[in-house]
Chain A
Amino acid sequence: MSSNRTGKGSDRSVRDGILATLPSLRAFAISLSGNVDRADDLVQETLLRALANIDSFEPGTNLPAWLFTILRNLFRSEYRKRRREVEDSDGRFAETLKTHPEQNSHIEFQEFQQALAKLPPDQREALILIGASGFSYEETAEICGCAVGTVKSRVNRARVKLAELLSIEGVDDFGPDQASRAVVAGGGGR
């Protein structure tokens, strides 16, 4: 908020670091909120907070973890405020994405997105940070402000719950068979 942003904090290298972290930060925001507009507002607010408090960032420490912590806390405080509202994740953002062979189909991808949105936020954030953002359990514990053991149990519960939500009953339904069928179909095979 204050305009005297001179000194070590205004280092170009920190700005470059922020820029380099942005794609992953935005992917985290979208995965977390399931809504592109809301995610971009979160990213914007995170950027403004980070830049306003850039002097509190110690160069050489984990810049991505610092940014993810800000975004995660913003999301959580916003989530508390709007808890009574229906989660507005509708898988709409999935429409903007390409369909990969490993996703089998657009519908399966949307189902995945919707199942993810049904997880409690503490489990969802832990699963994304560990499973997609590439943070360690220690870093994730720091970002989420909890113990490493808590992160591990949240990730485990998230995985069990996701499997349940996706009604996975066997490999026939959700495994290599279907994946290879999709590949065959996509390749114009038999």
Chain B
Amino acid sequence: MNERKPAKTGSKMQFSDASPRQAALGRQIQDRIGQQLRAMYNDVMAQGIPDRFTDLLKKLDHRDDEEKS
């Protein structure tokens, strides 16, 4: 095992300060984290909008129509 782990938590170590091998590992880890984050986010987006929100917007649209007429 290489010694990538910072000596203590909260270390300000940046991946760019690391050796090339460590930097490459850091990049892979960061790619992985980015993938996970986007997968989670996109899944929620794909669920669509709950009716309560579209209903809310519709209701306010109708109220505006009534005010205008």
Contacts and interface: CB of A to CB of B under 8 A. Distances in A.
Interface stretch (A73-81, A142-150, A165-173): A165-173
Contacts, number: 125
Interface in B23-40: 25-26, 28-30, 32-40
Nearest to A30: B44
A183 interface: no
- Contact-size category for B: 35 or more
Contacts of B20: none
Contacts of B54: 19
A150 to B, nearest CB: 15
Chain A interface, >50% SS class = helix
B57 to A, nearest CB: 6
Contacts of A157: 12
- Contact-size category for A: 35 or more
Interface in A99-144: 100, 102-103, 108-109, 112-113, 116, 127-128, 131-133
Contacts of A15: 57, 60-61
Contact of B67 (A6, A23, A127, A175): A6
A171 B28 CA distance: 8
B39 A23 contact: no
Nearest to B5: A169
A47 B57 contact: yes
B8 to A, nearest CB: 10
A63 interface: no
20 contacts: A18-B57, A22-B53, A27-B44, A27-B45, A28-B41, A30-B44, A47-B57, A48-B56, A51-B60, A97-B43, A102-B35, A102-B39, A128-B37, A131-B33, A160-B14, A162-B33, A163-B26, A163-B33, A164-B9, A175-B32
Interface of A: 3-6, 10, 12, 15, 18-19, 22-24, 26-28, 30-31, 40, 43-44, 47-48, 51, 93-94, 96-98, 100, 102-103, 108-109, 112-113, 116, 127-128, 131-133, 156-157, 159-160, 162-164, 166, 168-171, 174-176
